[in-house]
Amino acid sequence: MDKIIVLDFGSQYNQLIARRVRELGVYSEILPYDKPLEYFKDDSIKGIILSGGPNSVYDTGAPRISKEIYKLGIPILGICYGMQITQYLFGGKISPSNKREYGKSILNIIKESKLTKGIEITSTVWMSHGDHVDELSNDFIELGNTDSCIAIAKHKDLEIYNLQFHPEVTHTTFGKEIIKNFTLNICNAVPNWNLDDYITTTIKSIKDKVQNNQVILGLSGGVDSSVAATLIHKAIGDKLTCIFVDTGLLRKDEGDKVMSLYKDNFNMNVVRVNAGDQFLNKLKGVIDPEEKRKVIGNEFIKVFENAKRDYKDAKFLAQGTIYPDVIESVSVNGPSETIKSHHNVGGLPDDLDFELLEPLRELFKDEVREVGLNLGIPKNMIMRHPFPGPGLGIRIIEEVLIEKVKILQDADDIFIEELIKNNLYENVSQAFVVLLPVKSVGVMGDKRTYEYVAAIRSVDTVDFMTATFSRLSYDFLDIVASRIINEVRGINRIVYDITSKPPGTIEWE
């Protein structure tokens, strides 16, 4: 299968570039910039995109590539830092700058090329850079500019293109066309990546790999493990057993819903382990958020390991690992990954007793969703907001008690129900209720009440690394607050969380 490689120099837009290429039907992979040259001597690699990145080419330790990569005969598109590193290696001059140019600019095309075929002479592009190219290498010609910089360049003889702006971002009006021109008309990649074929070939390869062996899978009810389970079940039927650990810290009726969908509806072998009491016992007196995460994570592993003992004959452990989890990226040491490490709670340690089966390893989240829909998983399960591994344990501030779990489940359920009813659920990225360890005085009927305060949280985000609070209307918030206070015993006051991330985090603990 033809593919386009995105070389990662640390840009936050890497995954977006690969997604844009895949949308064209061409498979795309993200690799670290220092991948050995040997790797590229592969006929299926039809093009290379050098991504942007936060460095200046003059920084000590700035990511560098060998100039040999340009001699492989593979078309190369350098974006932002990718343009600067190309010019640096070919003898151009880069101007360091203390001020970033960030935002929209007007691009003027001064010379036509295959890259800009079909796009207007002037259009809007998205800039996000500090340095820019002051003087092009003698081997290159300028094809376009903005008020402030050289915006497009091409090697005089080779299919090497440079862009100072970001075509992968939707603010660049003709960004998609540019990526399309590069992928299909310059690299001549054959667009034969599609999810129907992916499903068919993956089902076949699961069958071939598993043969007559048994597979176990930890089903959480979340999108990734559910789609993995459904795909594997399609391939090997009863040879798959799913272990569903009900921590007692899930959304209202979640356990029953998971069982009814996957066991009753899809006829999968799903074993539900009701471990709610066990988790609550361990959480007695635990107040510190990190400690809670640890307790829940360790208990999860214990319960799962225990359940697994009944399946000694199983040869494979299946997991819903997806592509963003496995990208060998230079951002691995960056802040994004540090934040993520505490999210791995609920993940399982390396298990040498089993071979791993990870059928979604190559897919982005929205591709996983599409596969799920294609396999018949209902849309409301597939489009669900993310839910953290430690569950309601980190949404009940301070000690987790059974009565508080119940109160929070009921309040959260009302909030989500109203979001769905008002067609807001799919507009916001993640919404939930947090139960605070604070009581306040209220009046209901003629009676004084003294009950808990709950916070409503709803955020809008693309990557969950940064987020802003959702601008829900006062009228809508009023409906939710009234319903919770009237219907949920134990809460008599609602506040709306208007903190962005950063400086806040999405969860409260």
Binding site for ligand XMP (CB under 6 A): 293, 339, 342-343, 345-346, 386, 388-390, 430, 464, 501, 505-507
Give yes or no: 168 in active site. yes
- What b/e sequence results for 276-312 when a residue is b if at least 16 CB atoms lie within 10 Å of its CB, and e otherwise? bebbbebbeebeebeebbebbbebbbebbeebbeebe
Residue 357 in contact with residue 210, Cβ under 8 Å? yes
| DSSP secondary structure letter of residue 229 | H
Of 55 and 458, which has the nearer Cβ to ligand XMP?
458
The CB-of-456 to ligand XMP minimum distance in angstroms stands at: 15
Q: Which amino acid is at 447?
A: K
Q: Which of 80, 149, 187, 242 is catalytic?
A: 80
Smaller CB separation from ligand XMP, 155 or 385: 385
478-483 contacts at long range (C-beta below 8 A, 24 or more positions apart): 479/418, 479/422, 480/414, 480/415, 480/418, 480/456, 481/456, 483/414, 483/418
Q: Is 129 a catalytic residue?
A: no
Could you say which DSSP state residue 1 is in?
Answer: -
246: helix, coil or strand?
Answer: strand
Name the minimum Å distance from CB 434 to ligand XMP: 11
Hey, which residues does 433 pair with through a beta bridge? 456
Query: Which CB atom, from 63 or from 389, has the smaller least distance to ligand XMP?
Result: 389
Q: How far is the CB of 182 from ligand XMP (least distance, A)?
A: 33
Closest to ligand XMP by CB, 115 or 392 = 392
In whole angstroms, the minimum distance from the beta carbon of 298 to ligand XMP comes to 13
Q: How far is CA 190 from the centre of its chain?
A: 27
Half-sphere exposure of 223 (CA within 13 A, CB side): 23
CA atoms of 101 and 94, how far apart (whole Å): 15
Q: What is the DSSP string of 139-203?
A: TEEEEEE-SSSEEEEEESSSSEEEESS-TTSTTSTTHHHHHHIIIIIIS-------HHHHHHHHH
Pick between residue 464 and residue 476 the one whose CB is nearest to ligand XMP. 464
Nearer CB in complex with ligand XMP: 92/346: 346
Q: How many CB atoms lie within 10 A of CB 250?
A: 21
Nearer to ligand XMP, 23 or 507 (CB): 507
Task: Name the active-site residue from 132, 149, 159, 166.
Answer: 166
Query: How many residues belong to the chain?
Result: 509
CB of 383 to ligand XMP, least distance (A): 15
CA distance linking residue 456 with residue 102, whole number of Å: 33
| 112 labelled catalytic | no
Going by their DSSP bridges, the two strands 215-218 and 316-318 should be labelled as parallel
C-beta of 339: minimal distance to ligand XMP in Å? Answer: 6
CA-based nearest residue to 126, from 184, 79, 194: 79
CB of 229 to ligand XMP, least distance (A): 17
Q: How many CB atoms lie under 10 A from the CB of residue 204? A: 11
Give the residue numbers annotated as catalytic, written as ranges.
Answer: 80, 166, 168
